[in-house]
């Protein structure tokens, strides 16, 4: 019986697939692909965790920044009220001393009023600018942000107490 080329191609094809199956090549390829799929899923899961953590950190930093901004506004409002109270007190003293030495008291009181208002404004602006600069420069580190916030709050209160004294 004469075998033609087609027969030998078919026989070699069957032998080739037999060798592949015998050495379990399809199973090994499947295992490698499954391992890569698992690794990719782990990486995706890890990146999702990192994204969520960074989102939380960003939200916390934004909340701290908002809190600091509102606290700064409250401090400025308190400084304005204290300044107005100081002006009222100065005016009362002015009217009492005007009966004794009107001309001298008017000159001194107007100078004190302008100096007090300027000092309150300068101090408030300096504290607000320093707080914002330090908050921006340390906003990456949460613990530094908290410490800075508390420190500047205490400095502001102390400065306002010194002005009122």
* Contacts of residue 127, Cβ cutoff 8 Å, sequence gap at least 6: 75, 152, 155, 156, 159
**141 to 54, 61, 136: CA distances (angstroms):** 13, 9, 10
Whether the pTM exceeds 0.85: the reply is no
Residues 90-142 pLDDT 10s: 888 877 776 677 777 678 888 888 888 888 888 888 888 787 777 666 555 66
Residues 36-57 pLDDT 10s: 999 999 999 999 999 999 999 9
Query: Residue 64 has what pLDDT?
Result: 92
Query: Residue 40 has what pLDDT?
Result: 95
Query: Residue 105 has what pLDDT?
Result: 65
Containing 40, the helix (H) or strand (E) segment is helix 25-137
**24 to 18, 27, 29, 57: CA distances (angstroms):** 10, 5, 9, 50
């Amino acid at each position: 019986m004469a075998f033609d080329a087609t027969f030998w191609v078919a026989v070699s094809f069957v032998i080739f697939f037999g060798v592949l199956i015998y050495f379990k090549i399809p199973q090994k390829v499947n295992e490698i692909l499954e391992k890569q799929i698992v690794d990719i899923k782990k990486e995706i899961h890890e990146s999702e965790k990192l994204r969520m953590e960074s989102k939380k950190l960003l939200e916390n930093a934004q909340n701290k920044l908002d809190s600091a901004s509102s606290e700064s506004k409250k401090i400025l409002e308190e400084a304005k009220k204290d300044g107005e109270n100081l002006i009222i007190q100065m005016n009362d003293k002015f009217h009492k001393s005007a009966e004794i030495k009107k001309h001298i008291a008017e000159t001194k009181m107007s100078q004190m009023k302008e100096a007090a208002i300027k000092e309150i404004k300068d101090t408030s602006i300096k504290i607000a600018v320093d707080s914002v600069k330090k908050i921006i420069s340390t906003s990456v580190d949460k613990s530094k942000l908290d410490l800075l916030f508390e420190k500047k709050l205490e400095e502001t209160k102390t400065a306002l107490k010194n002005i009122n004294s």
